[in-house]
C-alpha cells in the first residue's frame, strides 16, 4: 500500500512541477489531490506544522504522538525558532524533520496530506485557502479568521476543493461539554434564554518598544503577509501582535473565541441581528496596545429570543461560579456552568441546588485526523463553518466598538445594514501579493 502511494505521489509531482506560484494553487489541486480519497488503516497521515513558536509547539507534539500521524515538516518564518524546534524534534522523536521558512514550499510538497496553522491570526485565512487549493487538509488555530469576509472565503475554499478544515476550539471535542450541550437540548434547565462568555486573563502592560532592524533569521515580509508594511518592533512581533488591528483581534478573539464558540454552540445559534459593545483601555493606557483590554459585548437573536453577553477583563478580578474563563447558561429551571474546556456543572432551581456535573477532556486533533481519513465533514467536532461563525461574532463585537454604535446585521448576506463605515471593517485591505481573491 505504502509503495503504491509513494509511486503515485512521485508521478503526480512530475505533473505539477512548475505549476505552483504565489496564489496559483488552483491548478495544482485540480491536477493532483492525493488526500482526496479515504486513507487505508495502515497509511500514516503525513503532516506539516506551520507557525511553531507558541501554540504550534503543541501542534507538533499533539499530532506526532497520534499513532497514525507523522509530522514530516516544520515551517516558521523565524529561522531561529525553526532550528530550535527541529533540534528538539530530532532529540525527542529520533528522526530529522524537513524544515521550511516559506509555507509555499510546504504546499508544493505533494507527499504532505495535511497542514496545521498556528500562525498569527492575519495569516489563518490566506494560508488555509492556499493549502486547500494545493490539496491539503487543514487544522487551523482559533480564531478561524482575522475578519468576517475572509472567514466566508475559508468556507468556500473548503467546499470548492473538498478539503477537511478544522478550527482549534478544543472544547468541541470534550465528552463532558458535549454531554452538557445535549442535556440542555433535552431541557435540563428548561427554556434557555441567555449565555454569558467570560474571558478574565491576567494580561499586563506591554509597554513601549522602539522601531529596530529586523532580527537576523526573521523573514519579515512573509510574516507581514497580507498586513500593511510597517517598521519592525518587538511589540508587533511574537505574541504581542494579538493587540494590534493589523494582525490580531485582542483577547476577545484570542482566549475569548473559545467561550464565544461555546455560547453559540450551547444556544444553538449562529450569527445575530443586533450587536453592541462598550470597550476601552482602562488600565495601562500608556502602552502600545491598540485593541481595548476591557469590553462588554451583547449579541441579540430576536427570532430565537436569545442573547449572548460577553465580558473581557485583563487583570485582577473575581471568578464567577468558580470560573474566570468559561460560560454561564441561564434557563427557566436552572443554570449551567462550563469551566474551561472540559468541565460542567448544573445548578437547579431558585436555590441553585447542585445538579449533574462532569469533567472529561477530549482529543481535538485526533478528531481532525478521523475526518481526514473518512472524508466526512459530519465526523468533525470543529468544522470550518462553525469556526467562521464564532470568529465573526468576535469581529462584529469589535466593529461595534470601533464605530461606537449598535449594529444591525443581516446574517444571510453577512452585511451590516445601512452602515458603510461598519461594513468597510468586515474586510481588510490586502497587501500585494498576499491577496485573498473574491473567487477562491
Q: Which residues 6+ apart lie within 8 Å of 250 measured at CB?
A: 242, 243, 256, 291, 292, 293, 295, 312, 398
Helix (H, G, I), strand (E, B) or coil at 149: helix
Give the mean pLDDT of 192-216: 98
Q: How far apart are CA 321 and CA 5, in angstroms?
A: 53
Q: Are 324 and 309 in contact (CB under 8 A)?
A: no
From 20-29, 182-191, 249-258, 429-438, the region with the lowest mean pLDDT: 20-29
Residue 287, pLDDT > 80, answer yes
Q: Are 173 and 386 in contact (CB under 8 A)?
A: no
Confidence of residue 2 (pLDDT cuts 50, 70, 90): very low
From 25-34, 100-109, 230-239, 377-386, the region with the lowest mean pLDDT: 25-34
Give the mean pLDDT of 406-424: 98
Q: Are 225 and 126 in contact (CB under 8 A)?
A: yes
Q: What is the pLDDT of residue 17?
A: 34
Residue 300, pLDDT > 80, answer yes
Give the mean pLDDT of 296-323: 97
Give the mean pLDDT of 268-289: 97
Starting at the edge strand that comes first in sequence, how are the strands of the sheet with 294-301 ordered? Answer: 353-359, 343-348, 334-339, 325-331, 192-200, 306-313, 294-301, 274-280, 407-410, 415-416
From 34-48, 126-140, 235-249, the region with the lowest mean pLDDT: 34-48
Q: What is the pLDDT of residue 6?
A: 39
Give the mean pLDDT of 272-290: 97
Question: Which among 259, 281, 257, 243 is positioned nearest to 394, based on CA atoms?
Answer: 257
Q: What is the pLDDT of residue 22?
A: 47
Give the tens place of pLDDT for each residue, 331-355.
999 999 999 999 999 999 999 999 9
Choice between 90 and 33, residue whose per-residue pLDDT is larger:
90
Dihedral sign (CA 76, 105, 214, 117): negative
Name the residue ranges covered by the structural domains of the chain. 2-169, 172-208+239-360+381-423
Q: What is the pLDDT of residue 42?
A: 61
CA distances to 43, 84, 95 from 91, rounded to whole Å, are 25, 11, 8
Q: What is the pLDDT of residue 5?
A: 39
Q: Are 199 and 313 in contact (CB under 8 A)?
A: yes
Residue 10, pLDDT > 90, answer no
Q: What is the pLDDT of residue 3?
A: 39
Q: What is the pLDDT of residue 7?
A: 39
Give the mean pLDDT of 268-277: 98
Q: What is the pLDDT of residue 8?
A: 35
CA distances to 21, 49, 195, 225 from 130, rounded to whole Å, are 10, 15, 36, 13
Residue 315, pLDDT > 90, answer yes
Q: What percent of the chain has pLDDT over 70?
A: 90
Task: Specify the pTM.
Answer: 0.92
Q: What is the pLDDT of residue 204?
A: 96
Which listed CATH number (3.30.360.10, 1.10.3720.10, 3.60.20.10, 3.30.300.20) goes with 172-208+239-360+381-423? Answer: 3.30.360.10
Tell me the CATH number for domain 2-169: 3.40.50.720
Confidence of residue 4 (pLDDT cuts 50, 70, 90): very low
Give the tens place of pLDDT for each residue, 15-66.
333 333 444 554 444 444 444 445 555 689 999 999 999 999 999 999 999 9
Q: What is the pLDDT of residue 28?
A: 43
Q: Mean pLDDT, the chain, as a whole number?
A: 92
Q: What is the pLDDT of residue 202?
A: 96
From 23-27, 101-105, 316-320, the region with the lowest mean pLDDT: 23-27
CA distances to 202, 293, 297 from 281, rounded to whole Å, are 14, 5, 15
Q: How far apart are CA 174 and CA 258, in angstroms?
A: 13
Amino acid at each position: 500500500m505504502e509503495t503504491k502511494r509513494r509511486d503515485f505521489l512521485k508521478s503526480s509531482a512530475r505533473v505539477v512541477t512548475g505549476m505552483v506560484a504565489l496564489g496559483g494553487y488552483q491548478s495544482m489541486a485540480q491536477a493532483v489531490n492525493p488526500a482526496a480519497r479515504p486513507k487505508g488503516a495502515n497509511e500514516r497521515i503525513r503532516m506539516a506544522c506551520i507557525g511553531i513558536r507558541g501554540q504550534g509547539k503543541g501542534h507538533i507534539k499533539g499530532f506526532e504522538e497520534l499513532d497514525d500521524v507523522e509530522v514530516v515538516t516544520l515551517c516558521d518564518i523565524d529561522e531561529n525558532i525553526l532550528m530550535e524546534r527541529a533540534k528538539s524534534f530530532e532529540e525527542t522523536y529520533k528522526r530529522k524533520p524537513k524544515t521550511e521558512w516559506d509555507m509555499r514550499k510546504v504546499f508544493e510538497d505533494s507527499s504532505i496530506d495535511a497542514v496545521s496553522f498556528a500562525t498569527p491570526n492575519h495569516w489563518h485565512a490566506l494560508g488555509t485557502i492556499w493549502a486547500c487549493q494545493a490539496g491539503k487538509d487543514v487544522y487551523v488555530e482559533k480564531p478561524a479568521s482575522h475578519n468576517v469576509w475572509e472567514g466566508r472565503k475559508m468556507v468556500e475554499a473548503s467546499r470548492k476543493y473538498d478539503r477537511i478544515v478544522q478550527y482549534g476550539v478544543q472544547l468541541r471535542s470534550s465528552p463532558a461539554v458535549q454531554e452538557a450541550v445535549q442535556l440542555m437540548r433535552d431541557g435540563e434547565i428548561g427554556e434557555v434564554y441567555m449565555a454569558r462568555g467570560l474571558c478574565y486573563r491576567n494580561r499586563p502592560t506591554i509597554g513601549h518598544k522602539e522601531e529596530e532592524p529586523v532580527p537576523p533569521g526573521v523573514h519579515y515580509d512573509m510574516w507581514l503577509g497580507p498586513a500593511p508594511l510597517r517598521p519592525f518592533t518587538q511589540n508587533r512581533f511574537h505574541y504581542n501582535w494579538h493587540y494590534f488591528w493589523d494582525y490580531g483581534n485582542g483577547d476577545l478573539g484570542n482566549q475569548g473565541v473559545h467561550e464565544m464558540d461555546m455560547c453559540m454552540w450551547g444556544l444553538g445559534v449562529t450569527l445575530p441581528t443586533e450587536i453592541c459593545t462598550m470597550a476601552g483601555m482602562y488600565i495601562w493606557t500608556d502602552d502600545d496596545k491598540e485593541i481595548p483590554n476591557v469590553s462588554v459585548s451583547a449579541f441579540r437573536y430576536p427570532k430565537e429570543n436569545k442573547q449572548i453577553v460577553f465580558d473581557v477583563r485583563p487583570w485582577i478580578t473575581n471568578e464567577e461560579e468558580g470560573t474566570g474563563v468559561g460560560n454561564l447558561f441561564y434557563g427557566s429551571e436552572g443554570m449551567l456552568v462550563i469551566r474551561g474546556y472540559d468541565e460542567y456543572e448544573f445548578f437547579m432551581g431558585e436555590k441553585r441546588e447542585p445538579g449533574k456535573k462532569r469533567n472529561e477532556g477530549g482529543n481535538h486533533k485526533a478528531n481532525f485526523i478521523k475526518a481526514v481519513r473518512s472524508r466526512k465533514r459530519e465526523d468533525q467536532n470543529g468544522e470550518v463553518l462553525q469556526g467562521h461563525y464564532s470568529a465573526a461574532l468576535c469581529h462584529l463585537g469589535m466593529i461595534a466598538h470601533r464605530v461606537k454604535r449598535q449594529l444591525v446585521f443581516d446574517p444571510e448576506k453577512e452585511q451590516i445594514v445601512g452602515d458603510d463605515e461598519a461594513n468597510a471593517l468586515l474586510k481588510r485591505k490586502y497587501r500585494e501579493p498576499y491577496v485573498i481573491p473574491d473567487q477562491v
